[in-house]
Homo-oligomer: A and B are copies of this chain.
Amino acid sequence: MQVGILTIGNELISGRTQDTNTSHIARELNIQGWQVPILMSVDDDEAAIKTALDHILAQTDAVIVTGGLGPTTDDKTTEAIARAYGLKLYRDETILSKIKAIFDRYGLYWAPSNSKQADFPEGAEPIANPVGTAWGFSLNVKGKLIAVLPGVPAEMKRMLSQGALPTLRRTFPEAAQAVASRTIKLSGISEAEVDQRLADADLEGQGVSVGFYPHFPELRLVLTVRKPTEEEARSLLKIAEAQVVERLERHIFAYDLETLEGTVAALLSERKLTLSVAESCTGGLITDRLTDISGSSIFLERGAVTYSNLAKTELLGVPEETLRVHGAVSEPTARLMAEGVRKLGHTDLGLSTTGIAGPTGGSREKPVGTVYIALADGRETVCRKYLFRWERRRVKVATSQAALTLLKRYLISIPGQT
């Protein structure tokens, strides 16, 4: 089944307000297994509303409309819909008295214009508003369903799940499907490369829809499956996920709502390992990300943002000679920073970053984007060199991602302590 969404309001087309209703409704409709071919927003204007409804219903079985149900003159949705389909308005006295009761209870001033919130097009089925005075309604027009809800997100959300969705399922019983979906988060690989590596699996051919969502520095891959039953949907999704993991495992760092910092935090806690971080080019971004995780104080002992050479020498014990001979951005410096911060913090692990974030400071042998990341565990120290493109902020973000990924791979490679 196809369902469109129409949001109405001047605050939307002016860009004054970020429309969050549309994505919420679209998500809820997709979960039902219904297709959402079109989303539209227009002004509180009768002609615009009619044109929009005609265009959407020409492509869909139903439309969910939000906004323009208030008591003021610029709220025209109900009249516009009635006129668009040549229907008279009727006033529901029971609902009117319920709305009046709310005004009395809270001692609100009753403006005559409030009465129009109890007006509905002939044949409409009112949808109760459990949290406000703007009732919605559903209306059958030539075999298509129009469900109208207020624009206030808190009211819309409850009336969608309690009123509009049940009405849609009742009106189109044959169209209720089960949906299963999985988000796979990747980094260190391009969209094109993922696309190519998955080509032979032909997931679409198996009835699995695959979406790519770049979310710098991540790439999110979303697998969605629709089947008549939960079981069928879940089992096909499982098979598809296994095929993706088989081809991209090394680049996967989290699933669904998990984050890279969350995964690293969980691994550190689980393995009872403590960490200190020495950051030069990332300037504190790595510890900032790790401390976004509640409970990070269990494993994060301290961080040192050693932006100056003096700080690298004094705090981390990097010899002046190393800095002079190899430079602050070099493998020897990165290694000594990781080992130095590990000692400084008396921790199991030491992680370090040093690089040229740009836009200045680059040279022919060390261009902007040159980064060294090192990890020391007391037995050995690994160091990796990276060359990132992009501007300063993105170099910092990509470096923090690479550092946390290096740490995560290390943590997975060692046996958990018990």
Query: Chain A interface (Cβ within 8 Å of chain B)?
Result: 10-20, 22-30, 36-43, 48, 51-52, 55, 59, 70-74, 102, 105-109, 111, 113-114, 131, 152, 154, 183, 190-193, 195-196, 209-214, 216, 222, 224, 277, 279, 281-288, 290-292, 294-297, 300-308, 310-311, 315, 345-346, 357-360, 369, 387-393, 396
Q: Which residues of B contact A292 (CB under 8 A)?
A: 283, 392-393, 396
CA distance A52 to B58 in the complex (A): 12
Which of B11, B17, B288, B307 is the one whose CB lies under 8 Å from A302?
A: B307
Which of B152, B284, B345 is the one whose CB lies under 8 Å from A284?
A: B284
B11 and A15 contact, CB distance less than 8 A: no
A73 and B109 contact, CB distance less than 8 A: no
Q: Is the interface of A mostly helix, strand, loop or mixed?
A: mixed
- This chain: how many copies in the complex? 2
A26 and B14 contact, CB distance less than 8 A: yes
A360 and B72 contact, CB distance less than 8 A: no
Task: Contacts A15-B27, A211-B16 given; indicate if A111 touches B192 (C-beta within 8 A).
Answer: yes
Which of B10, B37, B213, B311 is the one whose CB lies under 8 Å from A13?
A: B37
Most buried by B among A38, A281, A284, A359: A284
| A255 nearest CB across to chain B (Å) | 14
B283 and A213 contact, CB distance less than 8 A: no
Given A284-B287, A302-B306, 13 extra CB contacts under 8 A: A10-B211, A14-B36, A15-B22, A38-B52, A40-B40, A72-B195, A282-B288, A283-B288, A283-B292, A284-B285, A294-B392, A301-B308, A302-B311
Task: Please name 17 pairs of A and B residues whose Cβ atoms are closer than 8 Å in the assembled complex, sorted by A.
Answer: A14-B27, A15-B24, A15-B25, A17-B213, A37-B43, A55-B55, A70-B191, A71-B195, A74-B211, A106-B387, A108-B190, A113-B195, A152-B214, A283-B291, A288-B288, A302-B311, A303-B303
Q: Which residues of B contact A297 (CB under 8 A)?
A: 307-308
